[in-house]
Amino acid sequence: MVPASACGVRQARNRLARPVQTSMRERQVPRGDGRLSHDLDPQRPGPQDACGVFGVWAPGEEVANLTYFGLYALQHRGQEAAGIAVSDGSGVVVYKDLGLVAQVFDEPTLASLRGHVAIGHARYSTTGASTWENAQPTLRSTKAGTTIALAHNGNLVNTAELQRDVLERGIDSDGATNDTSLVTMLLAGRPDLSVEAAALEVLPQLRGAFSFVFMDESTLYAARDPHGVRPLVLGRLERGWVVASETAALDIVGASVVREVEPGELIAIDADGLRSARFAAPEPKGCLFEYVYIARPDAHIAGRNVHAARVQIGRQLAKEHPVEADLVIPVPESGTPAAIGYAEASGITYGAGLVKNPYVGRTFIQPSQTLRQLGIRLKLNPLRENVRGKRLVVVDDSIVRGNTQRAIVRMLREAGALEVHVRISSPPVSWPCFYGIDFATRAELLANGLDNDGIRRSIGADTLGYVSLPGLIAATEQPKTRLCRACFDGEYPIELPAGNQIGKHLLEGIGRRVATAPPDAPHHATEELVATPGGATVHRP
């Protein structure tokens, strides 16, 4: 175990792993990558979740265990890596690795992580590749002797600008290539300020979506961007406080919901209690896609239960796109609440028509091309007795490329369905997200360039209906002005950088430029990695 006075990172990687801070203990455990794919083909993923963050300040409690269970409740938000940072007041230790929460942590590991404050992270990468260096929480020591650990849900859009700030300050890189590491470096790069004061100076410089939990040796911090794009909630334990991406994570650790962390708010929790400060005026623009797909159905966002919202979306779908049919079936699990609402409003019987294999994607072995050709059968299989001879309404949450829906329609017809009517509980996804959801590029989005009938023909359905944007917004019970709808209408509430210098692997590109450019080369003479509005990257000399 790393001594309490040390600042260290422990991991399960290999003997070549290099220390990130002052000490490290290695453990040789063979592991798979543990990725939980949403699609059959890992090379062509659908919309991937935002990350999950969790933080707890609770003297006398087993904070590492609480964080583990909190991350377990947030596993749906990120499956590439998991990590926990913990402090007993004299030092901060981080344990992180690639894989699912239950693969990264075991009882002996958790038992060794002792302290009164902890933060945790379940990662899906939106900036930076899926590597161990980019796993979170990030960790950084200051010259003043303080240690900062930070976990991030969201995505910044001025990453290149922040990287230049880091370089100009002469801060040494830790090898990571994500926006979270940049923020940690900037916080730690102000040794003359307290962590709280440094945060109030750094946070206003950030543009994009961020819900942060971070900590030093004694204090838990939480901050949310001025638009509140990604959710972040505050909860109360009997002997402490909790912050988490979703209310479901509070429920699992027995915390009561206090309120949401406000957009533009910084919270600090220590032995003196909870205090709050504003670093920016709030301009709420919560992510609309959280209601459609990302959040757990038992979560609450802005006071609205997500399951109830999805059921209402289904009712609205039935109003907007009625059809004569015999059975309403969901694409499990994300289509289930909306299918319930559709059946309720239409009077058509609700039933099961597709059975989901709950373990697909949890394998360490990627399917071969031969197995991949089996298509959706790796993930779903029809209940032939239920669908044979029936006119079906099939309810799903979204269409991105259309591969999944195309395969489902074909499979149901092969199982004997007479008609297949597809209903989607979101409007067409026509624009990429730069705020924390890794959609396909715009060129790959099926709704970009095809009208409704073209999409219907592409997936092979008899009819196709999307819920309208006003109908979706109404189901959230939030005003349109308080929601980010960019993936549906292309109206980005946070200004994107000039030249669209943005993208998941932007910092890898910047790193190459810095490494290869001569010391006296002007900035414009180096290669510039630029992302187009559609999300594809191009190299510009």
For residue 175, what is the DSSP state? Answer: S
Distance CA 498, CA 258 (A): 39
| Amino acid of residue 269 | I
DSSP letters for 430-463: -S--SSS-BPPPGGG-TTSS--HHHHHHHHT-SE
Q: What are the φ/ψ torsions at residue 202 (nearest 5 degrees)?
A: -80, -45
Structure tokens at 220: 């838990």
Phi then psi for residue 374, to 5 deg, are -70, -15
**Nearest C-alpha neighbor of 14 from the set 1, 25, 26, 22:** 26
Beta partners for residue 280, in sequence order: none
Q: Is 487 annotated as a binding residue?
A: yes
Residues that are catalytic: 51
Give the count of beta carbons closer than 10 Å to the beta carbon of residue 6: 17
Kind and range of the H or E run holding 496: none
As a whole number of angstroms, the longest Cα–Cα distance in the chain is 74
Instruction: Give yes or no for a contact between 178 and 78, defined as CB atoms under 8 angstroms apart.
Output: no
Q: How far is CA 433 from CA 44, 147, 282, 511, in A?
A: 17, 33, 21, 24
- Is the bond leading into 333 cis (omega within 30 degrees of zero)? yes
DSSP 19: P
What burial class does residue 429 get, using C-beta atoms within 10 Å of its C-beta: 0-12 exposed, 13-18 middle, 19+ buried?
buried
Q: Is 7 annotated as a binding residue?
A: no
Those residues whose C-beta lies under 8 Å from the C-beta of residue 449, and which sit 6 or more positions away, are none
One-letter amino acid at 534 equals: G
Task: Give the whole-angstrom CA distance, residue 284 versus residue 282.
Answer: 6
Q: What dihedral do alpha carbons 2, 4, 9, 14 form, nearest 10°?
A: 10
Tell me if 287 is assigned to a ligand binding site: yes
Cα 501 to Cα 160: distance, rounded to the nearest angstrom: 7
- Annotated binding residues: 287, 334, 396-397, 433, 484, 487
- Annotated binding residues for [4Fe-4S] cluster: 287, 433, 484, 487
- Annotated binding residues for Mg(2+): 334, 396-397
